[in-house]
Structure 1
């Protein structure tokens, strides 16, 4: 997990899969600003609004560094790939995603609200790089579910597939906590540097993970729990985290 500089956006990123990076961090002299929509905005409209907001702030579209998506229901593997191909199309137009190398510096999370979800994939929030050093770490770590890295079907890579027992959920949660730590460590950071962390799960996993979260230091950083499902069929648990200087809602 060696970060790569994305000079056009004034940030660096940890490479992952074609649809997103493992995380993005502002370069010296810059900071992260996060904007949350009060209501989910459909993908196409969301990209248009995001472009207007970034350019209105005097920043290039390449400063788009992270987003949080909401989908109506978990995808199967083929559906998820098809959605991602559409998603990265706009990033290619913005000069962020490279179709030739399939390199994508943008961090991302994508979950499915169990109650009151959007009728189509939508933006919940996004982050971009703004000028000015915040004096503290500035990063956004992509959401991770309990799936091991690899190119095979998700069902072959999911930790304790379909196991929602207390021990199964605990093992899933520990795996994801460790993924967050590996991604932050790639930038030289850890839980003490974070300003917020979000957990997504429809199972009552907190009692089985509370001690692990406290022991690792994740509880100190504005941890919040959300009744959402991960974006792919078979996954039960997802988490993301960030250290952001400016957050606002529209």
Structure 2
């Protein structure tokens, strides 16, 4: 992308939604890609679609040991990660008033969206520091900075991603490593259906209520734009919302 090497990307939540769109885009740019996801069937489908230059990695980012050893499970030619895209996340049980919802649901959201992201970054960042290069793309949300009732755990998790991105960016300021935070607005992914525990009809009604939404490919283009900047240019934060939203 910014050089002639075949760059290696590690993408979590790769098998669907924004993660899948980013995988397709980066593969189209000539990157080799580690496809990390906990959904083995969807992962196999995507790997088959992309063909050469990818390695499917079954990974639950809430499993601390699995994340800590994830590089060891990769072929040597996939281990020197140049681009980390922290995309995996969910909101299962969300859009419920905090005192009514399940504490276990709230904990699971934080465990994946924030702690899982921290685990993956901790596993991969030391190699970037050692090699003196790398890009970290954290998929945050406009919910990280906007108050949305009935969305406390999800918003709290994304606010954590927002601050973590800022702090790591500051810590790495004297290196060539860039930390990019993407903050999408409403995007047509399966996060709404999973939030509603598989109710596809209710998910469709949810999107129709807003009249306009982003597509995963819109976010993938933003990721490519940020990564395509010259090495001295860091897109620290990018807010992306549908035209009819503010």
The alignment's TM-score, normalised by the length of structure 2, stands at 0.35
Using CA pairs under 8 Å that are at least 6 residues apart, name the structure with larger relative contact order, 1 or 2.
Answer: 1
- Structure having the higher strand fraction is 1
